[in-house]
Amino acid sequence: MSPVDAIERVSVLSTGTVRIRPDHAAATWKPQMLWMATSRSWTSPMPINAFVVEHRDGVVLFDTGQNRASVTDPDYFPGGIIGAFYRRTAQADIAEDETLERGLGRLGYRISDVSTVVISHLHQDHIGGLGQLTAAKIVVSQDEWDTLDETGAELKGLMRKHIDLPGLSWDRIQPEPTKDRALQPFPVGHDLFGDGSLMLLPTPGHTPGSISMLVRTPGHSPLLMVGDLTYSTHLLDCGHVPGAGSKAQLRQTTTMVNQLRANLAGTVVLAAHDPDAADALAKVTTS
Nearest distance in Å: CB 278, Zn ion: 19
Q: Are 51 and 60 in contact (CB under 8 A)?
A: no
- The reply on whether position 123 binds Zn ion by CB under 5 A is yes
Which residue pairs, CB below 8 angstroms and at least 24 apart, start in 86-90?
86/124, 86/157, 88/36, 88/39, 89/20, 89/21, 89/24, 89/36, 89/157, 90/18, 90/19, 90/20, 90/125
Give the nearest distance from C-beta 44 to Zn ion in angstroms.
18
Taking the complex as a whole, the smallest distance from the CB of residue 231 to Zn ion amounts, in Å, to 10
**With respect to Zn ion, which residue has the nearer C-beta, 116 or 230?**
230
Region near Zn ion per CB under 5 A, out of 52-60, 104-112, 116-124, 275-283: 116-124
The residue whose Cβ lies closest to Zn ion is 123
CB of 286 to Zn ion, least distance (A): 29
Across-strand partners of 118? 62, 139
Q: What is the DSSP letter of 4?
A: P
**Is residue 63 close enough to count as binding Zn ion by CB under 5 A?**
no
Stretch that binds Zn ion, among 55-63, 115-123, 229-237, 250-258 (CB under 5 A): 115-123
Contact 206, 245 (CB under 8 A): yes
Residues 202-241 that bind Zn ion (CB under 5 A): 228
Nearer to Zn ion by Cβ, of 7 and 12: the residue is 12
Q: Which is nearer to Zn ion, 199 or 229 (CB)?
A: 229
Q: Kindly give the pairing relationship between strand 114-118 and strand 58-62.
A: parallel
Q: Could you give the CA distance from residue 247 to residue 30 in angstroms, rounded to a whole number?
A: 12
Smallest separation, CB 218 to Zn ion (Å) = 32
**Among 19, 4, 11, which residue's Cα sits nearest to residue 66?**
19
Closest CA to 125 of 90, 97, 164: 90
In angstroms, what is the minimal distance from the CB of 245 to Zn ion? Answer: 8
24 lies in the site for Zn ion, by CB under 5 A: no
Nearest CB to Zn ion, comparing residues 54 and 144: 144
From start to end of the chain, where are the E strands? 7-20, 46-55, 58-62, 90-93, 114-118, 137-141, 169-173, 176-177, 188-191, 198-202, 211-215, 223-227, 268-271
**By C-beta, is 54 or 228 nearer to Zn ion?**
228
Q: How far is the CB of 206 from Zn ion (least distance, A)?
A: 6
Beta carbon nearer to Zn ion, 86 or 109: 86
Give contact residues for Zn ion (rule: CB under 5 A).
Answer: 123, 228
